[in-house]
Amino acid sequence: MEQIELVIKSLRHLMKTLIWNGVISLICGLTILVYPQLLTILVSISLVAIGIINFIAAAKVAKYSKIVIKI
């Protein structure tokens, strides 16, 4: 039963990450359509934001994971 709860928590974190990535991408895409001169600024900001969100999600999923990865 504990394993199922861990999987559910991990899936919730991944789902939230995908939602945030989609929201950021949509906002940046629509803004670029309206103001094309902001392309480089918005792309760089969105990539940094998505990268940070992905690191946070990976840390949360790793907290519930029983797998040990040595680098």
In a domain, 5, yes or no: no
The reported pTM is: 0.70
Q: Which amino acid is at 7?
A: V
Number of domains in the chain: 1
- Please name the residues in contact with 48: beta carbons below 8 A apart, sequence gap of 6 or more: none
Q: Which domain holds residue 39?
A: 21-63
Cβ-contact 53, 17 below 8 angstroms: yes
Assign 66 a pLDDT band (cuts: 50, 70, 90).
Answer: low
Q: Which residue has the higher pLDDT, 70 or 43?
A: 43
In a domain, 14, yes or no: no
